[in-house]
Amino acid sequence: MEPRGLGQVVLLGLLALAARASGDDAAESLGLWPMPLSVQLSPKQLYLSPENFYIGHDPYSKADPGCSLLQEAFRRYYEYIFGYNKWNHGPAKFYNETQLQQLVVSVVLDSECNSFPNISSDESYTLNVKGPVAVLKANRVWGVLRGLETFSQLIYQDTYGTFIINESSITDSPRFPHRGVLIDTARHYLPVQTILKTLDAMAFNKFNVLHWHIVDDQSFPFESITFPELSKKGSYSLSHVYTPRDVRKVIEYARLRGIRVIPEFDSPGHTQSWGKGQKGLLTPCYNAKTPSGMFGPVNPILNSTYTFMSKFLEEISKVFPDQYIHLGGDEVDFKCWASNPEIQKFMEHSGFQKDFRKLESFYVEKILKMVSTKNRRSVIWQEVFDNSVKLPPGTTIQVWIPNNYATEQSVITAAGFPVILSAPWYLDLISYGEDWRKYYQVKPLNFPGSPQQKRLVLGGEACLWGEYVDVTNFMPRLWPRASAVGERLWSQGNVTDLSSAYRRLTIHRCRMVRRGIAAQPLFTGHCSPEFTK
């Protein structure tokens, strides 16, 4: 009989190994991804019957039995485990002593069921599988979500289609608190459904931050209630817009998967689309003493600029619940500023001479103060730090320039600022072959610095910029290449074996395919059966 459900994602030979193996070999055979902190797998097998298996609360748990986040997660993972063939499993082998009847979920502390995840969220969990009841314990609901993913990965089917899990004990927690994926919806608009599917895949790989680079030079698809002309005139079309309802849907869908949504509204550069709907915001460029008709970065010398930005950021802080807002600050072209006679006068009057980095700092410092007054914290790209902008304590710097990024990390953390690392994980830079390996081999803490400095590395992000990516190729370009980053940020630093990673990731990729993620293959081979939807 052909294996069905979750068993379709793995090769039968590896499944047979999983039934017999223990320890690391079994974890490898099952394709556990990312690798948990501690895994003990017994050769003893337990059988699951879809009709008689239940995921539910421990009655003594601190979680509200009506917690919608957990109830939705229980339903979701039941379907991931048994699939649409749950009434067509193999022959009954279910004796009391070998049957797993229930996964009991216990939340030890206040569950945070109705909260949003944050940078300090506790994602740790323990999982003990022993018939007839398995127990998943976590301090908070976020750990339950990560533990459910691991539990689902432990289950496989034999050649008769029978659902099997080995007795096991797992203790797990993430290495870094910030494990992100950056998506770019300005260069090409991504349908909401694609973003939701991305959040599913992120949960499968235990990512917990969606960095939403929502607007840029090319388009402004975010529909602002305060400034509706921004999207009306700055989007590709009125069909290429994220309405307030769309944004709420993404944020809630992410919350139910333990994923934060950090919006990025980059300025003063990368703002050409802003100027279409907000007249007077951008700097007029000049040829000698004559306006050229072109516009450059945000005009930093006008009071109207800061009035607009304050109102806009006020709206953003209400729409997006996360503590952080990404303010960009990268790749500011100074040529237009330098050509503008009014800015030349301002520079001279302010004593900036011809150092336009000081003008950039003048602007960015004002924007950072605005964000702090709205009880939000800022993330900025590394150029802002490199240009000696005076930054509020706790401002997070995202390191993206590939040259000497280890040195950059060392300098930033020595100054006492938190770091997010992205430089080695730009997934838009594609190459023939298994480039996931180079992402996997990155050592995020491999820079000169004290233990205190290295604790300032919050984690990292896999970035997929959208110049050459739209809905047609987004998913296969992102997955499973981003999975390599996911394990590097979740698993311990000594989990580095490429051969083991290849075998596990091959299985995990097929698991994602079976769950509806169009993840590209790592190399030759096949899933069973091949994905044909």
Given a contact cutoff of 8 angstroms between Cβ atoms, the answer to whether 522 and 476 are in contact is no
CB 301 within 8 A of CB 349: no
CA distances to 288, 371, 516 from 173, rounded to whole Å, are 60, 32, 27
Residue 442 per-residue DSSP state: -
User: Residue type for 276, please?
Assistant: K
Report yes or no: 106 and 135 within 8 Å, Cβ to Cβ.
yes
> How deeply is 178 buried, as exposed, middle or buried, from its count of CB atoms within 10 A (0-12, 13-18, 19+)?
buried
Token reading at 238: 């009125």
Which is it for strands 457-464 and 178-184: parallel, antiparallel or unpaired?
parallel
Q: Which residue has the tokens 């305060």?
A: 226
3-state secondary structure 160-193: CCCEEEEEEEEEECCCCCEEEEEEECCCCCCCHH
Provide the residue type at 82 as one letter: F
Q: Are 384 and 400 in contact (CB under 8 A)?
A: no
> Any catalytic annotation for residue 72?
no
CB atoms within 10 A of CB 330: 15
Q: Which of 51, 72, 331, 348 is catalytic?
A: 331
Distance of CA 154 to the CA centre of its chain: 23
Maximum CA extent, the chain: 89
247 vs 376: CA distance, rounded Å:
19
151 by Cβ neighbours in 10 Å (0-12 / 13-18 / 19+) ranks as: buried
DSSP states of 220-250 as a string? --B--SS-THHHHHHSSSTTS-B-HHHHHHH
Q: Which two tokens stand for residue 328?
A: 């960009």
Q: Please tell me whether residue 103 adopts helix, strand or coil conformation.
A: strand
Residue 266 φ then ψ, to 5°: -80, 130
Closest listed residue to residue 75, CA positions, set 210, 90, 67, 139: 67
Contacts of 84 (CB under 8 A, 6+ apart): 5
Which residue numbers are catalytic? 331
